[in-house]
């Protein structure tokens, strides 16, 4: 039996409904169903910042909710778990829900809006060895609507339906996803997560797509694409192809296909609407590094010497990833043309130090724990999960890299500086992320 995927273009209100109906994604929906909607709010700041291709548009969410109401559904919950630099920060999530118009949906349609970190979690077996904790609201819903963004991802090549569901697990489980096990790694975990949750519909929001995602430092495009299916894996196969990537080269998609006894060549998928060739456009996913992977290409072109900053791997979780960008930015501004003193900065959970380095900065508690007994290196540990920004500055200063502390003191407003890129570019319209009251 073929799986149906609708691949359509977005030009005006009503196009999302057309895509859902073309794909028959709501064919198993009943008016009595308890429906949970999972958008993608990978990041939020309480200052203006680029949302295009990063966050699910409120435009797509609104149409999905209105169609649910047309189907007679009254029990609707929208939920997300936004990771913030301060683990107990609830104000940022509340600001996101308010800005994106979720409160308007609550008032207009009686939709419930939840921060999953304020709700219970339930331990679920991912396999015989691994347990994770899932938010109970989607876990015990009848119909799950998955609203990811059509984007690439620096660690997983693409971030679509399967990857979006990682936002429904608690913080401890998210860290567990980024483990150093070569077999049961991030891809393995993602490939199994979706099977633990109720079936429903996946609607991939490609009004804006993103190159080198998943966050605001990527490069968005106005692509006007909607992908819909009642089968998440099929939607992801098509989404990957639209982004210019073969699903066979994406580890977690290949694993999921193998688990289900499916091919990754789309031979069992019926595509309705536009053809993949008509809408596909290659989106780069990785940030460029030197050939030996020891320095970002930007720093290499600047002529930076005396520093090794190995390329991130899949074991670096969201907390360290958020700080990692600030560290690289600070190092860029700190370079004055004079070689540093043979410094190495290690991240994630499995990087090994290079013998003979004068200083080895261990960024994050995982690196600190891994090498705490290593007497062959001159370690400068930056403890904490997430790592303390002030301690990060001290460590870099100790290693002879005089980064500006102000960069780390204002991490909460740093994203707004990226808005400069979008001046006088009307295609990047903020209104897609708002709902009129």
Q: What is the pLDDT of residues 100-113, one digit of tens each?
A: 999 999 999 999 99
Instruction: Please report, in angstroms and rounded to a whole number, the separation of the first and last CA atoms in the chain.
Output: 43
Torsion over CA: 410, 411, 412, 414 (sign): positive
What predicted TM-score, i.e. pTM, was given to this entire model?
Answer: 0.97
Residue range 190-214: mean pLDDT, rounded = 98
Asked whether residue 118 is domain-assigned, the answer is: yes
Q: Would you place residue 77 in the very low, low, confident or very high pLDDT band (cuts 50, 70, 90)?
A: very high
Let me know whether 71 and 157 are in one domain. Answer: yes
Let me know whether 226 and 358 are in one domain. Answer: no
Pick from 315, 44, 294: which is nearest to 155 by CA? 315
Q: Which residues contact 75 (CB under 8 A, 6 or more apart)?
A: 32, 33, 34, 35
Name the helix (H) or strand (E) containing 256: helix 251-260
Let me know whether 302 and 273 are in one domain. Answer: no
Block residue for tokens 């149409």: 63
Let me know whether 212 and 306 are in one domain. Answer: no
Q: How many CB atoms lie within 10 A of CB 30?
A: 12
Let me know whether 332 and 379 are in one domain. Answer: yes
Structure confidence at residue 83 (pLDDT): 84
Q: For residue range 115-152, what is the model confidence (pLDDT) as tens digits?
A: 999 999 999 999 999 999 999 999 999 999 999 999 99
Structure confidence at residue 198 (pLDDT): 98
Q: Give yes or no for a contact between 219 and 210, defined as CB atoms under 8 angstroms apart.
A: yes
**Domain range for 127:** 3-285
Residue 88 has pLDDT above 90, yes or no: no
> Which of 285, 307, 326 is where one domain is finished?
285
Residue 425 has pLDDT above 80, yes or no: yes
Structure confidence at residue 220 (pLDDT): 98
Enter the tokens of residue 67: 């169609």
What gap in Å lies between CA 113 and CA 61, rounded to an integer? 13
Structure confidence at residue 319 (pLDDT): 81
Structure confidence at residue 86 (pLDDT): 76
Q: Would you place residue 288 in the very low, low, confident or very high pLDDT band (cuts 50, 70, 90)?
A: very high
Name all contacts of 97-103 with Cβ < 8 Å and 24+ positions apart: 99/433, 99/434, 100/41, 100/55, 100/58, 100/61, 100/433, 100/434, 100/435, 101/58, 101/62, 101/433, 101/434, 101/435, 101/436, 102/58, 102/61, 102/78
Enter the tokens of residue 242: 């639209």
Q: pLDDT averaged over the chain?
A: 96
Name the helix (H) or strand (E) containing 366: helix 365-370
Asked whether residue 432 is domain-assigned, the answer is: no
Asked whether residue 290 is domain-assigned, the answer is: no
Residue range 275-282: mean pLDDT, rounded = 98
């Amino acid at each position: 039996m073929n799986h149906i995927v609708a691949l359509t273009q977005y030009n005006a209100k009503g196009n999302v409904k057309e895509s859902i109906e073309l794909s028959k994604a709501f064919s198993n929906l009943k008016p009595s169903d308890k429906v949970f909607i999972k958008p993608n709010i990978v990041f939020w700041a309480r200052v203006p910042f680029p949302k295009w291709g990063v966050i699910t548009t409120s435009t797509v969410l609104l149409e999905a909710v209105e169609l649910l109401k047309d189907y007679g559904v009254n029990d609707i919950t929208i939920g997300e778990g936004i990771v913030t630099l301060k683990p107990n920060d609830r104000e940022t999530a509340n600001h996101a829900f308010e800005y994106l118009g979720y409160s308007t949906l609550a008032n207009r349609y009686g939709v419930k809006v939840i921060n999953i970190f304020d709700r219970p979690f339930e331990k679920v077996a991912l396999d015989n060895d691994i347990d994770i904790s899932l938010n109970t609201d989607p876990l015990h819903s009848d119909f799950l609507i998955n609203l990811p963004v059509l984007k690439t991802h620096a660690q997983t090549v693409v971030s679509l339906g399967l990857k979006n569901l990682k936002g429904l697990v608690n913080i401890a489980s998210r860290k567990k996803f980024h483990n150093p096990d070569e077999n049961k790694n991030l891809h393995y975990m993602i490939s199994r997560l979706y099977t633990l949750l109720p079936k429903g519909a996946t609607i991939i929001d490609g009004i804006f797509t993103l190159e080198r995602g998943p966050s605001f430092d990527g490069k968005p495009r106005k692509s006007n694409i909607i992908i819909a299916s009642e089968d998440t894996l099929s939607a992801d196969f098509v989404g990957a192809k639209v982004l210019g990537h073969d699903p066979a080269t994406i580890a977690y998609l290949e694993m999921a296909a193998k688990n289900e006894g499916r091919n990754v060549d789309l031979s069992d998928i019926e595509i309705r609407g536009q053809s993949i060739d008509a809408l596909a456009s290659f989106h780069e996913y990785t940030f460029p590094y030197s050939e030996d992977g020891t320095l970002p290409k930007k720093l290499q072109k600047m002529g930076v010497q005396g520093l090794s900053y190995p390329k991130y791997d899949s074991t670096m979780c969201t907390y360290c990833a958020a700080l990692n960008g600030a560290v690289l930015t600070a190092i860029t501004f700190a370079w004055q043309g004079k070689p540093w003193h043979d410094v190495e900065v290690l991240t994630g959970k499995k990087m090994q130090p290079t013998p003979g380095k004068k200083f080895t900065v261990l960024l994050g508690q995982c690196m600190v724990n891994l090498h705490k007994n290593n007497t062959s290196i001159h370690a400068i540990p930056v403890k904490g999960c997430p790592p303390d920004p002030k301690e990060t500055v001290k460590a870099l200063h100790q290693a002879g890299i005089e980064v500006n502390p102000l960069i780390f003191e204002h991490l909460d407003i740093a994203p707004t500086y990226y808005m400069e890129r979008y001046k006088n570019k009307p295609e990047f319209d903020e209104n897609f992320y708002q709902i009129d009251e």
